[in-house]
Amino acid sequence: MADPQQVLDARVRDALGAAFGAEYRGLDPLIRPSSFADLQANVALPLGKRLGRPPREVAAELIGHLDVGGICAEPTVSGPGFINFTLLDDWIAGEAGDLLADPRLGVPLAAEPRTVVVEYSSPNIAKEMHVGHLRTTIVGDAIARVLDFAGHHVIRDNHVGDWGTPFGMLIEHLLDVGEESAGAQLLRTDPNTFYAAARAKFDADPEFAGRSRERVVKLQSGDPATMRLWDELMELSRAYLRGIYRLLRVTLTDDDIRGESFYNDMLADTAAELIAMGLATDSDGATCVFPPGFTGRDGTPLPVIIRKRDGGYNYSTTDLATVRYRVDKLNADRAIYVVGSEQALHFQMIFAVARLAGWLPDTASFEHAKIGLVLGTDGNRLRTREGDTIKLSDLLAEGLGRARGILDELETSAELGPQTLAAIAEDVGIGAIKYADLSTARDSGYVFDWDRMISFRGNTGPYLQYATTRILSIFRKAGLAETDAGAPIQVTAPAERDLALRLLGFGAVIAQVEQTAEPHRLCAYLFEVASLFTAFYEHCPVLKAGDEATRAARLALCAVTLRVLRAGLGLLGVPVPERM
């Protein structure tokens, strides 16, 4: 409970109760950061209104009942009735010291852990991931890591596209080129080329197209020979994904893959139950549910098609079966779908139907964590088909190349071996790309600008990495491990105070990300911490401090900062090199 906002919240609530009666204890004290002090309480203004008394008078009375001894100086009333709090330097120092001793850095374990399914990444098998998949993968992984750390039971769920009509084509093509051929190996290394070849043949060769259609039927009827080939296709694709995820430091494994095919044998039942409940009706030969409140172009009800006219099922049915599975079998009481925002309406309707059917209880929170479009510098969407999409492999290679180029120009790199340098370049390049994706609000579309993404300045991954390596460098020079720094922290210089105070907010930020599934808030926080640290670094000599106590205190402050930055970057999945 180091977060000053929470500490003061509790104190002011006590004072509200004491001053105005128990029923006022539940009032939100409205503690906010202040530009006139450290924090301010705004509660006196609405309360004055409610009591019919001048807000300044209410504020004064509140202060009279307020016990903040040892935490801050005597609160003051200013303006129309704001209560300003200035925290005591000693309190800040003490709390920061407690943080150093706290393995969880002020982040409480969830009192009531929830089972949370995080669906993310979800690429299509046999297609190379592009920047759009990159974003859902990176953001989803950060969300999963944060929820994990907060103490929830997280189930990572990679809902890959591994089923449907294209697979007839892909399997036939795999047969044609031969399972052990170089052509088949493209699935591991360059799946787009494999897919494109199959597609081209499908479009040009009627005989192949016919075979492909027959293959789809065999696939969906579970023909053993076809299933074996499908498994082979999947294994090659898993190998591709393993490589990408390893390079990206994404925590997804083969075990997290639960693709569309997984729900195949639940589809008929799902549709049948909807019909039996009277929710689904026949419409133009298709079986549809019309959830209330959704209308289309002409004010006509919008359907969720659960069975096509030809009797086949589509992705709506799969998504409904998925909801049921997550609730019934996984016991999920929260599910976060990290999926493109263009599917917003689809998920609204799926969740609405699932609620209607009683499959999604009110106690379960199923959320669509919308991911905005990735745009080109021309403001248009980056598209796969137009040929102007940046291939993921090219993107990552360029990231590493640029990182390496910058490292090579630095003097400090000269003393490092080539392997070390390559490893650092990878950390920096991958970190830059991931951080760029994480640091803007996930639901806003963002312009993919290579120079900005790879930029090593400002609110970027490398800037944060750099801050951590500077701290590590201090410890190296001192011949100490950061765990050796345990002296009482002192807060005397302004830069020390600003830094220490901000470090106390780590728990609050994690709580916020946990709640909103918005990792960019953590990025913003870490950038503040890193900025405050570099200011401290410039203004407050550590190893060359005037006296031994100051030196030890500053080393301890460095250690807390290091731990917060490392933990935060770890939760974002951004690697942290030892030196840069």
Partner RNA sequence: GCGCCCGUAGCUCAGCCGGAUAGAGCAGCUGCCUUCUAAGCAGCGGGUCGCGGGUUCGAAUCCUGCCGGGCGCGCCA
Q: Does 461 bind RNA (CB under 7 A)?
A: no
3-state class (DSSP) for residue 281:
strand
Please report how close the Cβ of residue 351 comes to RNA at its closest, in angstroms: 12
Q: How far apart are CA 275 and CA 282, in angstroms?
A: 9
Binder among 1, 10, 32, 109 for RNA (CB under 7 A): 32
Q: Least Å distance between CB 121 and RNA?
A: 13
User: Scanning residues 313 to 342, which ones bind RNA (CB under 7 A)?
Assistant: 314-315, 318, 341-342
Region near RNA per CB under 7 A, out of 59-67, 186-194, 277-285, 359-367: 277-285
285 binds RNA (CB under 7 A): yes
Judged by CB under 7 A, the chain residues 423 through 442 that form the site for RNA are 424, 428, 440-441
Q: Which is nearest to 257 in space by CA: 130, 158, 180?
A: 158
Which residue of 113, 372, 376, 570 would you call a contact of RNA, by CB under 7 A? 372
- Give the 3-state secondary structure of residue 359: coil
Cβ pair 294, 301 in contact under 8 A: yes
Contact call for residue 473 and RNA (CB under 7 A): yes
Give the whole-angstrom CA distance, residue 453 versus residue 44.
45
Strand pairing partners for 116? 154, 334
Among 8, 99, 134, 474, the residue binding RNA under the rule CB under 7 A is: 474
412 binds RNA (CB under 7 A): yes
- Does residue 223 bind RNA (CB under 7 A)? no
Q: Which stretch binds RNA (CB under 7 A): 172-180, 228-236, 351-359, 467-475?
A: 467-475
Residues paired with 301 in a beta bridge: 295
The single residue among 137, 237, 469, 561 that binds RNA, judged by CB under 7 A, is: 469
**What is the Cα 207 distance to its own chain's centre?**
46
Q: What is the per-residue binding string for RNA in 76-105, x denoting contact by CB under 7 A?
A: --xxx-x-x---------------------
Q: Residues near 412 by Cβ (< 8 Å), separated by ≥ 6?
A: 579, 580
Task: Give alpha helix (H) positions in 297-441.
Answer: 315-328, 344-356, 392-408, 418-439
Question: For residues 84 and 226, which CB has a smaller minimum distance to RNA in the complex?
Answer: 84
- Residue closer to RNA, measured from CB, 53 or 477: 477
CB of residue 416 to RNA, shortest distance in Å = 10
38 binds RNA (CB under 7 A): no
Identified binder of RNA from the candidate list 4, 123, 140, 303, rule CB under 7 A? 303
Residue 77 CB, shortest distance to RNA, in Å, is: 8
Helices and strands (DSSP H and E) totals, the chain: 21, 13
Q: How far is the CB of 529 from RNA (least distance, A)?
A: 11
Find the helix or strand (DSSP H, E) in which 268 lies.
Answer: helix 267-276
- The amino acid at 405: G
The span of 38-46, 150-158, 224-232, 386-394 binding RNA (CB under 7 A) equals: 38-46
Q: Residue 40 or residue 226: which is nearer to RNA going by CB? A: 40
Contacts 24+ apart (CB under 8 A), 66-70: 66/11, 66/12, 66/14, 66/15, 67/11, 67/14, 67/15, 68/8, 68/11
SS3 state of residue 307: strand
Q: Residue 180 or residue 284: which is nearer to RNA going by CB? A: 284
Considering only residues 115 to 144 of the shown chain, the ones binding RNA according to CB under 7 A are 124
Single-letter residue type at 107? V
Residues 539-568, one symbol each (x = binds RNA by CB under 7 A, - = not), give xxxxxx------------------------
Residue 455 as a binder of RNA (CB under 7 A): the answer is yes
Q: How far is the CB of 534 from RNA (least distance, A)?
A: 4
- Least separation in angstroms between CB 476 and RNA: 7
- Is 504 strand, coil or helix? coil
Q: Shortest approach of RNA to residue 181 CB, angstroms?
A: 28
Q: Is 233 exposed, middle or buried (0-12, 13-18, 19+ CB in 10 A)?
A: buried
Size of the site for RNA (CB under 7 A): 105
Q: Which is nearer to RNA, 94 or 322 (CB)?
A: 322
Among 97, 164, 507, 568, indicate the residue that binds RNA (CB under 7 A): 164
**Which of these ranges, 99-107, 247-255, 321-329, 538-546, lies near RNA under the rule CB under 7 A?**
538-546
| Residue 436: half-sphere exposure toward Cβ, Cα within 13 Å | 24
Q: Using CB under 7 A, pick the residue from 179, 190, 443, 484 that binds RNA.
A: 443
Half-sphere exposure of 564 (CA within 13 A, CB side): 36
Q: Which is nearer to RNA, 153 or 218 (CB)?
A: 218
Give least dist CB 325 to RNA, A.
Answer: 16
Q: Is residue 186 within 8 Å of residue 193, measured between CB atoms?
A: yes
* CB contact at 8 A, 188 and 240: yes
Q: Which residues of 155-173 are buried (b: 16+ CB within 10 A; e: fewer)?
A: bbbbbbbbbbebbbbbbbb
Kindly indicate which of the ranges 100-108, 211-219, 224-232, 283-291 contains the residues binding RNA, using the contact rule CB under 7 A. 283-291
Assess 446 for contact with RNA (CB under 7 A).
yes
What are the start-end ranges of the H helices in 88-177? 89-101, 131-149, 166-177
